[in-house]
Chains A and B, each alone.
Chain A
Amino acid sequence: MSRYNLTHLKELESEAIYVIREVFAQFEKPGILFSGGKDSIVVTHLAQKAFWPSKIPFTLVHVDTGHNFPETIKFRDDLVADLGVNLVVGSVQNSIDKGKVREETGKDASRNWLQISTLLDTIEEHGFDALMGGARRDEEKARAKERFFSHRDDFGQWDPKNQRPELWNIFNGKKSYGEHFRVFPISNWTEMDVWQYILSEQIEVPSLYVAHQRDVIWRNGTWLPNSEHIKLRDGEKVEEKQIRFRTLGDITITGGIESKADTIEKIVSEVAAARQTERGNRADDKRSETSMEDRKKEGYF
């Protein structure tokens, strides 16, 4: 490789740092949407690199469904303490208690859609004008159409057919009062890039990503973790398996895969050999062919 060429990981890193610095420069109250998943952990790590030796100049925003993996919450709190940043938590349980949203009932009920309302309320309450997230274009077909700087109207909605063109490295973050932006610094990364980056930067991630023994239930073609939020159906039984999670969402909808990858090195090899997409174990994406587009239009992550 030539002396004046970057590796793909360094180029992606440099692009993301550039985008994160643009967010800081163009907005008044920007934040990072932090789920405790690997992608938002990588975005937070990149924000640290973008402003070193200063502290991260963004608030971390977490939408808490109340159905989290306990490991995720502990990881979040440790990281916040370590970085010395502010954390804002929007609680779906509060939204339910206040009667703002109604919990889904019946088979396969989840709090996934309910997060949208809590997220939008949190944005309004704290006056965020830009929120960065770890969404990537390779994850899902609606996300493949997403911009780095994605405009949201007064109601927090995304209009996929009326998006601003993005040219070169010029980002137009102009907006009217009450509107906000979602920004995706790692848009161009793939699942593989994220894992290779975690490995090469030695970034800490929740232990749920590496293979471990867990009580699980086989449902809808995936291993769902046993928890207080899940009810056994006829014919189902709790089994102990060695599994790991490729994505982290709610404990009620995130399925694991059987895996022996108990180190990050082994995860990189496993991802290289994978024949299923990472969101293939997410019940929220399986509801319809355009469920991601539908949720995104309403204001989802």
Chain B
Amino acid sequence: MAYNEENSYLDMELLRFTTAGSVDDGKSTLIGRLLFDSKSIFEDQLEHLENSSKRRGLEHTDLSLLTDGLKDEREQGITIDVAYRYFATPMRKFIIADTPGHIQYTRNMITGASTANLALILIDARNGIVEQTCRHSFIASLLQIPHLIVCINKMDLVDYSQEAYEKIKANFKSFSSKLNVSDIQFIPISALNGDNVVNRSENMDWYEGSTLLYNLENIHIASDHNHIDCRFPVQTVIRPKKDEYHDYRGYAGRVAGGVFKKGDEVVALPSGFSSKVKGIHTMDGEVEEAFAPMSVSITLEDDIDIGRGDMIVRSNNQPDVSQDMDVMLCWFGKMGPKPRSKYALFHANNEVKAMVRQVYYKLDINTLHRNEEDTEVKMNDIIKVSLRTTKPLMKDAYTKNRLTGSLILVDESTNETVAAGMII
């Protein structure tokens, strides 16, 4: 492919990936390596890092100081929050959601995973699969991250042994058969020495796959969005008070699924009124079709009553409309839900009230064991519940659409987001 330096950015794609890890598994080193080798660390940042590392009495430059931005994180040497990092190659722009790996930060891992196309799982070649590996992989599967790359790191410390690599790979495959992940790649790397990160390793001729960066640049992400089931949640209605647009009534929103075209037969939910798409508008002009994740305004042939929280869908493919649902929740709040607790529920630009009717079980995210006896919910617990809402939601299963299948619960006394939910 001829690559034109001047306007190559006009066809770059965006890939969002998440990593999770603890202090020692080499996550910071790996991110540092990707940023370094893609020339995304600047001289003044590097100088800053060198000075900070020296002040802390470290012999080498600690790349984790780059991702740990808050005063407390730098003092304690740990990642507390999700940190977002950016780098680009001529092929793609990357957004890394870098999260802590410890169980007490499950909610941060879930947050980072919710928008990711890809999860990067790091395994220390010396230790093989540990509890954290299972946890991160399970979260990736729960949040339906479409692609998983398993990096078996620190290969330099096991003499670049193919046997060690194959053994871990086999163990991971057997463990992940319990999970719902379709695309898994394995790569033996040494983040410290750069083997198979950006450049192919000279120490592992037995490995015939591609490098980590090559995978990140080439994994097919166009079908990560749902382009089949048309869903258009309405954010707001645009009614210009201008003579030339006197009758303009545009429904503004971001396509959550499917491909909308001019002339499509559509239905507005929950009212059930049908109409046809008259036009799809942007400030740059009308477009022929709109697909996820485009932000557009849709006008309809008929003047029907549609407002925020309503959903425009195709007549022949409609979501479930109901007030009762089973949901997997990750609990973020300090206190768990009491029986019949009520919350504000946000779903697809809609806000309703919801009641937790029943907690079916609590899931141990290390073993995937379902605990039906102990249903006392604490922060970071993953639970399956039954919810009832005051008004019907236009919803899909999370496995079908991450945007119309997800919700959050908000405690109305503190306004805190207390849970993230995936509709079953």
Listed stretches A15-23, A124-132, A223-231; interface member: A15-23
**CB–CB B417/A172 < 8 A:** yes
**CB–CB A14/B332 < 8 A:** no
**CB–CB B235/A4 < 8 A:** no
**How large, as a class, is the contact surface on chain A?**
35 or more
| Given contacts A137-B86, A167-B114, A176-B415, A1 and B407 within 8 Å (CB-CB) | no
- Complex: A192 Cα to B294 Cα, angstroms: 22
**B43 at the A/B interface (Cβ < 8 Å)?**
yes
**CB–CB A7/B43 < 8 A:** no
- Complex: A272 Cα to B418 Cα, angstroms: 42
**Residues in B43-60 with C-beta less than 8 Å from chain A:** 43-45, 48, 52
**CB–CB A161/B80 < 8 A:** yes
Q: What residues on B are CB-neighbors of A277 within 8 Å?
A: 42, 44-45
**A175 at the A/B interface (Cβ < 8 Å)?**
yes
**CB–CB B240/A8 < 8 A:** no
**CB–CB A22/B42 < 8 A:** no
**Residues in A155-169 with C-beta less than 8 Å from chain B:** 160-161, 163-169
Across chains A and B, the number of contacting residue pairs, with CB separation under 8 Å, is 191
| Given contacts A4-B225, A167-B114, A172-B415, A289 and B346 within 8 Å (CB-CB) | no
Q: What residues on B are CB-neighbors of A165 within 8 Å?
A: 107-108, 110-111, 332, 417, 420
**CB–CB A137/B84 < 8 A:** yes
| Given contacts A49-B283, A165-B417, A274-B42, A18 and B254 within 8 Å (CB-CB) | yes
**A251 at the A/B interface (Cβ < 8 Å)?**
no
Q: What residues on A are CB-neighbors of B92 within 8 Å?
A: 8
- Complex: A1 Cα to B11 Cα, angstroms: 7
Residue of B nearest to A175 (CB): B415
- Complex: A264 Cα to B240 Cα, angstroms: 33
- Complex: A277 Cα to B349 Cα, angstroms: 37
- Complex: A264 Cα to B6 Cα, angstroms: 12
**CB–CB B81/A200 < 8 A:** no
- Complex: A19 Cα to B420 Cα, angstroms: 19
**CB–CB B346/A21 < 8 A:** no
Give chain B nearest CB distance to A197 CB in angstroms. 10
Q: What residues on A are CB-neighbors of B82 within 8 Å?
A: 145
Q: Which of A138, A163, A172, A193 has the most CB of B within 10 A?
A: A172
**CB–CB A11/B14 < 8 A:** yes
**CB–CB B13/A8 < 8 A:** yes
Listed stretches B25-33, B66-74, B151-159, B365-373; interface member: B66-74
**CB–CB A54/B13 < 8 A:** no
Q: What residues on B are CB-neighbors of A274 within 8 Å?
A: 42
**CB–CB A15/B293 < 8 A:** yes
- Complex: A183 Cα to B223 Cα, angstroms: 30
Q: What residues on B are CB-neighbors of A105 within 8 Å?
A: none
**CB–CB B402/A50 < 8 A:** no
**B323 at the A/B interface (Cβ < 8 Å)?**
no
- A 203-222 binary contact with B (CB < 8 Å = 1; else 0): 00000000000000000000
Give chain B nearest CB distance to A136 CB in angstroms. 9
- Which of B74, B225, B406 is the one whose CB lies under 8 Å from A168? B406
Q: What residues on B are CB-neighbors of A91 within 8 Å?
A: none
**Residues in A1-53 with C-beta less than 8 Å from chain B:** 1-2, 4-15, 17-18, 21-22, 24-25, 48-53
Q: What residues on A are CB-neighbors of B346 within 8 Å?
A: 170, 172
**B149 at the A/B interface (Cβ < 8 Å)?**
no
- Complex: A163 Cα to B294 Cα, angstroms: 28
- B 239-265 binary contact with A (CB < 8 Å = 1; else 0): 111101100100011100001000000
Give chain B nearest CB distance to A272 CB in angstroms. 8
Give chain B nearest CB distance to A150 CB in angstroms. 13
**CB–CB A50/B417 < 8 A:** no
**CB–CB A18/B111 < 8 A:** no
Q: What residues on A are CB-neighbors of B242 within 8 Å?
A: 53-54
12 additional contacts (CB under 8 A) given A9-B10, A14-B295, A172-B408: A1-B13, A6-B294, A7-B9, A9-B9, A25-B236, A53-B248, A144-B83, A144-B84, A161-B81, A172-B417, A174-B412, A190-B88
List the 7 closest pairs (A to B, CB-CB), nearest first.
Answer: A141-B69, A2-B222, A52-B283, A17-B295, A8-B14, A5-B222, A174-B415
10 contacts between A and B (CB under 8 A): A6-B294, A7-B14, A17-B254, A49-B282, A145-B69, A145-B70, A163-B81, A167-B408, A276-B42, A289-B52
